[in-house]
A = this chain, B = another copy of it.
């Protein structure tokens, strides 16, 4: 979870909530699909361990970014989606995504960057 302040500025507070190896990617994934099951998220994020996925999702839930809907069925079904706060955070990260994309292209053009994952 976030430190919950005191923060030096808004960027500080924003970064605090997105810090965590998978959080920005979870945001991106949930924003693209609207609603995703735990297993779908796991398969969509190459390299995540189950432990980390649960952990990051729980923290994001506590931070009010994602909504968790449990369906009491067998086998169990749990669906994750973005809250309004999560959606707006994702929008706020849009510019950073564009910047990163351009950087990747620039580095690739200079032959510095080896490759980009096909998902990009």
- Asked, given contacts A14-B99, A15-B100, whether A113 binds B5 with beta carbons under 8 Å apart, the answer is yes
Classify the interface of chain A: helix, strand, loop or mixed: helix
Q: Tell which of A35-43, A53-61, A69-77, A90-98 binds the partner.
A: A90-98
CA distance A83 to B6 in the complex (A): 30
Residues of B within 8 A of A7 (CB): 100, 104, 116-117, 120
B15 A114 Cβ-Cβ under 8 A: no
Residues of B within 8 A of A85 (CB): 103
Q: Does A4 sit at the interface, judged by CB under 8 A?
A: yes
The interface of chain A, by Cβ under 8 A from chain B, is 4-19, 24-25, 27-28, 45-46, 85, 88-89, 91-104, 107, 112-117, 119-120
